[in-house]
Structure 1
């Protein structure tokens, strides 16, 4: 499929052993050509597992994402978001948007310090709180049927899709009951706008789950996502795909410039505030994406503890 300027909408390359030489040749002969550099590039794996995906991505930086058959149904939305991301990083027209905070920059030292903090703090917290996590796992198993952990597909920075982990706080198969509670959604239902879902005093939440949510203990397994590199300690919350696919317009895509995080500006400023609008939540995400730095991350971490205990059961 091609666009009006005869460029492909995206390039999808089937992964097989020995593909590295072909990818290098592609970049030298085609991908390095300026218009093609803006075309989303995916590597599709079907049964063939990359031994070291992080090394692969570091070597072939023009690869936007490594996808599997599970992501195929969401490829159109992924392409749209990556296109927005590349336009934001490439063209000066986005500077016309009035944002008080400084623009997003890839500052090497700040990014290095941020990742170093993640890889230092996350393992230490996991080790220190492992007895507590074992106790929580036991209580979840005793209270209700179902898995101990809740694993869901989420979209993070640059619409990167990954498995997101939490302690299960709801009854089993809670996702299948989502439509039944749509009339209780605290966010306004907009047919042509962003889609968010939140219910006050959600009936699907267990008694233990309510405590875990209000104390944020349910989010401890996300430290594994931090170590894996899917998330950071500080960033914008990774979104369910039904929410992320509604944020591909020029007005909203900038929030995906920031990495996914356990805590961030939204949590510190508005956590538990049921009066917050969809637009306000997105603006906070965009604000963080533009002014993020290691110093700012440290400020958010310091101010996170007082935001951990929510005022509303959401």
Structure 2
């Protein structure tokens, strides 16, 4: 196999007849993380700031040989495996499924399917092959390091009892099929019905936003949800059009404690960037109606932990905080019901609430949180 970037590992060809050589890799520097890519590599992998040393193989059999080499010669495993979707995906994924069943230790390696297009249509693959952690596209290369850090920790919790007591591990990762099925069914039914009923309200809000200020009607930005899955998050625009570029100017107003290291959240009381109509939409939570589209697409659930902006999610990749990403992203949740609109809140308190929900979530708990949400919708402070 040829080297495809200056950052790549040099990998000896393993195609064709067996030459009798037992070593396929020349050298694996300890300082680099290894990314195993199956298929034709993407040009974005050649970026100078790519933190990974990439091994590329043409097929699943070659990839499994490389994993064996890494284990037995260099005492390492890949930081992640990425399979590039192609026409032979059914047989390839079946090979991976059989492989992981016979190599339980390797089930903790993050596994992603890369595709150039058709992202939404491929979500069903994750249901049929549970070892797949996410379907990623070209945009994922920008956040791949943090995504791998979070997914690897989550998968270690699932795979190795040493990371969690057996009681908690059972509560977190088993007996969830029917609960998840009912939760998704409820999400689709309520989100679809909600969009139909609220469509006249949405049209009025869209017209008012357009009349008040220039700029887009909807605010769309990247957010990180369960397992650090990045998706486009929708809301009605409540701020001036260039609000994101003004973020540094208002950080001194942050209502969270002003620590400079560790997790970072930014929430501003009476944010000067919020328009008059935007303040009303936020205080009544009407700005969040478009998130029902995210629920229908499967990016979010009605109940879960709030999806985070990437600059916030990037600070939560440690073992201490990563558990908040075990839960699905949601429109409402424990934090909204118990703390929405309140200024007296620390970063630790916010994350502890997210982790608490991740550990205790159930369909019954979700129903209680949804029933409690209307009482938290109208807030006194513009945050």
TM value normalised by structure 1: 0.93
Larger radius of gyration: 2
For CA contacts below 8 A with separation 6 or more, give which structure has more relative contact order.
1
Other structure's SS at 1:86 match:
helix
Asked if 2 retains the 8 angstrom alpha-carbon contact of 1:154 and 1:238, the reply is yes
Match of 1:34?
Answer: 104
Is 1:10 equivalent to 2:92 in the alignment?
Answer: no
Q: How does 1:1-314 map to 2 (within 5 A)?
A: 1-2=33-34, 5-29=75-99, 32-46=102-116, 48-50=117-119, 52-95=121-164, 103-106=171-174, 107-314=176-383
Q: Work out the number of aligned pairs and report it.
A: 311
Q: What is the TM-score of this pair, normalised by structure 2? A: 0.77
Unaligned segments of structure 1, at least 5 residues: none
Quote how far apart the aligned CAs of 1:97 are. 12
Q: Which moved more, 1:26-35 or 1:143-152?
A: 26-35
Residue deviations 1:52-91 (CA, integer Å, cap 9, x gap):
2122222332121111221111100000000111122223
Deviation string for 1:27-49 (max 9, x for gaps)?
Answer: 33467512221111112223x43
Distance 1:28 1:214, change over 3 A: same
Work out the CA distance in 1 between the residues paired with 2:186 and 2:297: 13
Deviations 1:235-287 (A, max 9, x none): 11011111111111111111111111111110110000111110001011111
* Root-mean-square deviation over aligned CA pairs: 2.1
Q: Which runs of 5+ in 2 are unaligned?
A: 1-32, 35-69
> Which deviates further from its counterpart, 193-202 or 54-63?
54-63
Q: In 1, distance between residues paired with 2:321 and 2:293?
A: 28
Distance (whole Å) between structure 2 residues aligned to residue 249 and residue 80 of structure 1: 8
2:143 is paired with a residue whose SS is helix
Distance in 2 of aligned mates of 1:108 and 1:60: 14
Equivalent position SS for 2:221: strand
8 A contact 2:210–2:217 mirrored in 1: yes
Are 1:170 and 1:205, in contact at CA under 8 Å, matched by a contact in 2? yes
